[in-house]
Amino acid sequence: MNEQLSIFDYMQSIQPKEPKSHILSVGDKIGRVVLGECIIATVEKVEGLPDYPFYRTDKCCYTYEEGLHDIQELRRIAEENRKNYKTIIPQNLSERLTVEYAPRECDGHVLWAQIGILDNMLFWKEEVTYQFLEPYDSEKKLMKEYEKHKKNMLESFGNKRNYHIVEQEHPMRRLYWSEHGFYVDAEYVQHNG
């Protein structure tokens, strides 16, 4: 009888096993540096044990190697890196509209969206997008885009009916200037320029 060898069995047969030390536990914090930001998450599940551990978190997956880094050191590196970028933290938007949607059935997470104007720039974040701050050279173009994103927030995505308008401005992240001519979340700039 011929027994088929899986890729994992093969990898184990050619690589000596090195025991993994310092495996994080559920509830531990883990981080990574993205441009000038230290993205910190909470471990929700450890998978791939014993030989190929990785972490599922409240934000995304992290590698075993990322779990070996000290969070305070990651924060220091991010702060140092930030000096190399043009950034802005939007606040005090005019013409602002902020909404929260009904909690998701799968995990109870509340998604939010916000739109507003900062000088000649349009801030917008729909419920499943990055945060953007886009400059416009005319008020007409700015207001046209404002109305388009407002409609998306209130009507277009998934036949929205279960939302409520929030009085206070939702805090916004530090945004990074991109090669595309607007400010956006660090993750977007890292992957898209």
Return the higher-pLDDT residue of 176 and 18. 176
Q: Give pLDDT, residue 157.
A: 56
Task: Tell me which of 29, 63, 82 is where a domain ends.
Answer: 82
Residues 75 and 96 in one domain: no
Task: Tell me which of 22, 56, 82 is where a domain ends.
Answer: 82
1 falls within a domain: no
pTM of structure: 0.83
Q: Give pLDDT, residue 155.
A: 82
Q: What percent of the chain has pLDDT over 90?
A: 72
Asked if the model's pLDDT at residue 158 lies above 60, the reply is no
Distance (Å, whole) CA 108 – CA 106: 6
Distance (Å, whole) CA 33 – CA 63: 13
Residues 95 and 57 in one domain: no
Residues 13 and 63 in one domain: yes
Task: Tell me which of 82, 106, 139 is where a domain ends.
Answer: 82
> Cα 174 from chain centroid?
12
pLDDT in tens, 103-136: 888 878 888 999 999 999 999 999 889 999 999 9
Residues 59 and 92 in one domain: no
Residue 178 C-beta-side C-alpha neighbours within 13 Å: 22
Q: Give pLDDT, residue 6.
A: 77
Residues 16 and 71 in one domain: yes
Structural domains in the chain (count)? 2
158 falls within a domain: yes
Element (H or E) spanning 147, and its range? helix 139-151
Residues 122 and 169 in one domain: yes
pLDDT in tens, 8-43: 676 666 665 667 788 999 999 999 999 999 999 999
Which residues form the domain of 94? 87-192
